[in-house]
Every structure is written in C-alpha cells, then in structure tokens.
C-alpha cells in the first residue's frame, strides 16, 4: 500500500463521455416511466425538461469549480476549501450515503430482475455475486471501471435509440395503438397536457429527480481524468442533448403512440412498444437492459463511495487508512469498506425482500438534493472570493442561474415533505444530519483537547 501518492489519471475522453451518459440515464426511465406517465400524463415531459435545465446549471457550476484547480480531485475538496471542514464532513459523508442507498436499491432490484429468468433463484444471492464481481474489477484498475461503465451506458443508449427509431416509424405510418392513431396530437387530446392537474405535475418531480440522481458523478472522476480541461467541458456541454434525446424524446414518442391513460403503469412502456412491432422477447430484452442499468448504478456507487472516502480521508474527515492507495493507484481500503457496507443489503434481502427498495430509495432522493444545493452554494462562494474577472468554463448567467437553481431544488424538497410515502425517509435523513453534526462536534472537541494537552 502507498500513502500520499495521487490517483491514476487513466480515464480517457470516451470513458468520461459514457460515464456522463450513464449518470444521466437511470433505471427509472426503463422501468418506472409507466408509473410516472400514469400519475402525471404528458406533463412529465415538461418536468423532465425543467429538471434537465437546472441539472445542466448544476453541472456547469461543478465544472467551473473543478477546472479552477485541477490539482484537487473532486468537488468534495472544493467544499472543504470554500465552505470549511464542517461542510466537507457533512456533505462528503452524506454523498457517500447517497451512493450506498442507490447501490442498495439497485442491488435489490437486480435480484428481482434475475428472478424473471430464474424464478427460484434466491433474491439475496444476486446482490452478493454482483458486489464480489464489481469489487474485484474496480480493485484491478480505474481503466477497467471506465470500460465497464462505457459498455453499460452503451447498452442503455442502444435501447433508447431503438425505442425512438421504432416509435418514430409507428408515428409516420399512423399505427393504431391503445385504440387511437399514433400522432403528436395524443399529447393533448386526452385531458390536455396536464390531465392530472398541477398536483400530478408537481408530484412528478420526485420521480424525475430520482431518475437524475448520479448525474454529478462525473465531478468525482476529475482526479482520474486524462485531460480534465478538455474532457470535462465536452461531457458537461453535451448534457442538454442527452437529456433532450433520452428523456424528453422517449417520453414524447411513447405518449404519441399511446394515449397516456392507455399505458399500463405496471409494465414498462419500452416493453409495450417492442411487443407491438412483433419483438416477442421484448420483456426479456428490457429486463436485460434494466439489469444492465442496475449493474451500472452499482459500479458507479462502488467507484463514487471509495473516491469520496479517499477525499474525506485526505481532508482529515475520515480515517487515514482510506487515503491509502494500492500499487495500481486505486484506493483499495476505501473500496473494500464500501463494498462491505453494501453487504448489508444482502442481509435485508434475505429477511425483508419486499420492503427494501421503498425503504432506501426515498432517502437517496432527499440526500442528493441536499448535496446539489451545497455544491451550488459552494460555487457562489468561490466566485465571490476570487478577484480575477475571467473564469475558465464560466457558469452561464451567474449569479442569477445559481440562485434560481437553488430555489428550484429547495422547492422540490418542500414538495417532497407533503408526500406521505416519503415521511419515513425524511425522518431518517434528519436523524442522519443530526448524527453527523454530533459526531463532527465531538471530533472537533477531541482535537481541541488534544491540542491543549500538547501545550
């Protein structure tokens, strides 16, 4: 083990592009979009568009931060520099928990996906196998992580492009799906663009935000990017195109083919479209795609949590052992620790397989929003403290866009507070923040007492 050395800069432009794409496409698009459409109708398109715009502003602010000093490894380091030790401690450990939650949710889902083909296979066994395989590959080299994430993202992109291509063809030939002709008019012909009212539209932001969780992960890769000043701006600036194509494009296609109220909420719209053009194995194909998406999320989680612990350890906010690097310049101790924590989900899937997903997905959404708000605030402080007038990869519309983005994320948090199904997740999140504050104050007091005893 080597201490004090730097992370390997092995991630190439292709890796960064695909990691950014993978972070922008979650399992919710493939599996949960039927439920999202059922609850909000065509207005989900507007929700994705609005959220996409603010996520772009978020990424531009992160990008400007990261490229202001490429010697720092991730946005966690910038939080320490501009907001202090306390915020690094709370935000860093919360971000670690975010990805642990995402991984646990997707590991649980992966156990369900595998049972589609092997109904008698134990639900707890799939997460165990995935954790072991991903730990081994991530320990080997950061380049292997980049390659795996590239292929996972590639499979998701192919599935979406296939949906858009097939759907576009069905619209052109005037296909009759759900008892009506495929047409863009279907977006307003069945109760208007807001058929479930403003309430349905506002509730949809919860699902949309969860779908975008992980979009900031490209900001964790900065310390291992071959040419950050070239690759990061390229990945971030292509974000609007990706969101427009993958989310907005697919939703427009689906609800143009079928009336929003004709879609079955329990079935993926992707399966419905592929079935209707005669692809008999449509359910199996989409099950493979969502399993890939789940593997992608788990792969990203193991990477992100280990690099977050590495950054926290270098800042003195996690045990020093987490900043030790292996011979391949990968933080192996941090990788092993995060993977061991993920084994908890194996136990949960053994004892309470039906309640795990609901238990942890809500917490992830709330905590991700908190981290995003902190990052925007960090960018504002950075701009205020810098005397020079020219900035590399400057945030467009600063400071108006920063404040508007914070207002948007705070508004979504307020909306989530009125969702009864998220009450337990909100309560646990509050307990988590209180616990972190207590631990930080206790740690700070011990340091002060140690300093006095040395005098």
Query: Which sign does the torsion angle of CA 250, 252, 256, 260 carry?
Result: positive
- Give me the pLDDT at residue 220, please: 67
Q: 3.90.76.10, 1.10.1420.10, 3.10.20.30, 1.20.1740.10: which CATH number matches 13-448?
A: 1.20.1740.10
Q: How far is CA 393 from CA 38, 60, 65, 236, 242, in A?
A: 40, 8, 9, 10, 20
What's the pLDDT score for residue 1?
Answer: 45
Q: In the prediction, which pLDDT does 435 show?
A: 94
pLDDT for 32: 65
| pLDDT of the residue at 452 | 55
Of 279, 247, 184, nearest in space to 44 by CA: 247
Residue of 95, 23, 86, 91 whose CA lies nearest to 52: 23
210 within 8 A of 415, measured Cβ to Cβ = no
Q: Please, which residues have CB within 8 angstroms of residue 213's CB and are 6 or more apart in sequence?
A: 26, 98, 102, 364, 365, 368
Is it true that the peptide bond before 399 is cis, omega within 30 degrees of 0?
yes
Distance CA 41, CA 25 (A): 20
- DSSP readout, 378-411? HHHHHHHH---S--TTPPTTTTHHHHHHHHHHHH
Residue 382 has a pLDDT of 92
Distance from first CA to last CA of the chain, Å, rounded? 34
From first to last of its 455 residues, what are the pLDDT tens digits of the chain? 445 456 555 566 666 666 666 655 666 666 667 777 888 899 999 998 999 899 999 999 998 988 888 777 778 888 999 999 999 999 999 999 888 887 887 777 788 788 888 888 887 888 888 888 888 887 777 777 777 777 887 888 888 888 888 888 888 888 776 678 888 898 998 899 999 999 889 888 877 887 787 777 776 666 666 777 877 888 788 777 777 778 888 889 888 888 888 877 666 777 777 877 777 787 788 888 888 887 887 888 888 888 888 888 888 888 889 888 877 777 888 888 988 888 877 776 666 555 555 556 677 888 889 999 999 999 999 999 887 666 778 889 989 999 999 999 999 988 888 777 777 788 888 899 999 999 998 887 877 665 555 55
**What pLDDT, on a 0 to 100 scale, did the predictor assign at position 228?**
76
Residue 449 is predicted with a pLDDT of 65
Is 140 strand, coil or helix? helix
Q: What integer pLDDT is reported at residue 433 of this predicted model?
A: 92
- Within 8 A by CB and 6+ apart from 402, the residues are 57, 61, 376, 379, 380, 395
Contact 300, 26 (CB under 8 A): no
């Amino acid at each position: 083990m080597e201490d004090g050395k730097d992370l390997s800069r092995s991630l190439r432009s292709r890796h960064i592009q695909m990691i950014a794409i993978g972070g922008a496409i979650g399992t919710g698009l493939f599996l949960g979009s039927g439920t999202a459409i059922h609850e909000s109708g065509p207005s989900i398109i507007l929700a994705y568009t609005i959220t996409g715009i603010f996520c772009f502003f978020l990424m531009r602010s992160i990008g400007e931060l990261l490229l202001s000093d490429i010697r720092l490894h991730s946005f966690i380091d910038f939080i320490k520099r501009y907001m202090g030790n306390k915020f690094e401690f709370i935000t860093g450990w919360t971000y670690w928990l975010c990805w642990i939650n995402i991984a646990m949710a997707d590991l649980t889902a992966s156990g369900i996906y595998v049972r589609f083909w092997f109904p008698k296979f134990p639900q707890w066994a799939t997460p165990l196998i995935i954790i072991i395989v991903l730990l081994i590959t991530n320990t080997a080299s950061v380049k292997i992580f980049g390659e795996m994430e590239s292929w996972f993202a590639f499979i998701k992109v192919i599935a979406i492009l296939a949906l858009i291509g097939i759907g576009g063809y069905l619209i052109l030939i005037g296909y009759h799906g759900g008892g009506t002709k495929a047409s863009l008019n279907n977006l307003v012909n069945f109760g208007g663009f807001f058929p479930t009212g403003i309430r349905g539209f506002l509730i949809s932001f919860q699902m949309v935000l969860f779908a975008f969780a992980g979009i900031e992960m490209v900001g964790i890769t900065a310390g291992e990017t071959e040419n950050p000043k070239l690759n990061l701006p390229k990945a971030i600036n292509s974000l609007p195109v990706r969101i427009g194509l993958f989310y907005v494009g697919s939703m427009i296609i689906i609800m143009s083919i079928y009336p929003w109220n004709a879609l079955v909420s329990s079935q993926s719209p992707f399966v419905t479209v592929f079935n209707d053009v005669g692809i008999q194995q449509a359910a199996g194909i989409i099950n493979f795609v969502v399993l890939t998406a789940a593997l992608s999320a788990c792969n990203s989680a193991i990477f992100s949590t280990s690099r977050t612990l590495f950054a926290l350890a270098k800042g003195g906010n996690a045990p020093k052992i987490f900043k030790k690097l292996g011979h391949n310049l990968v933080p192996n101790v941090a990788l092993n620790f995060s993977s061991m924590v993920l084994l908890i989900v194996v136990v949960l899937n053994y004892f309470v397989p039906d309640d795990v997903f609901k238990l942890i997905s809500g917490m992830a959404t709330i905590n991700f929003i908190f981290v995003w708000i902190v990052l925007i605030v960090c960018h504002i402080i950075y701009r205020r403290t810098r005397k020079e007038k020219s900035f590399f990869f400057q945030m467009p519309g600063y400071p108006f866009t920063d404040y508007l983005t914070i207002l948007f994320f705070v508004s979504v948090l307020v909306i989530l507070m009125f969702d009864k199904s998220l009450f337990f997740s909100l309560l646990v999140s509050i307990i988590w923040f209180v616990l972190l504050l207590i631990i930080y104050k206790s740690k700070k007091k011990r340091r002060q007492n140690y300093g006095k005893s040395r005098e």
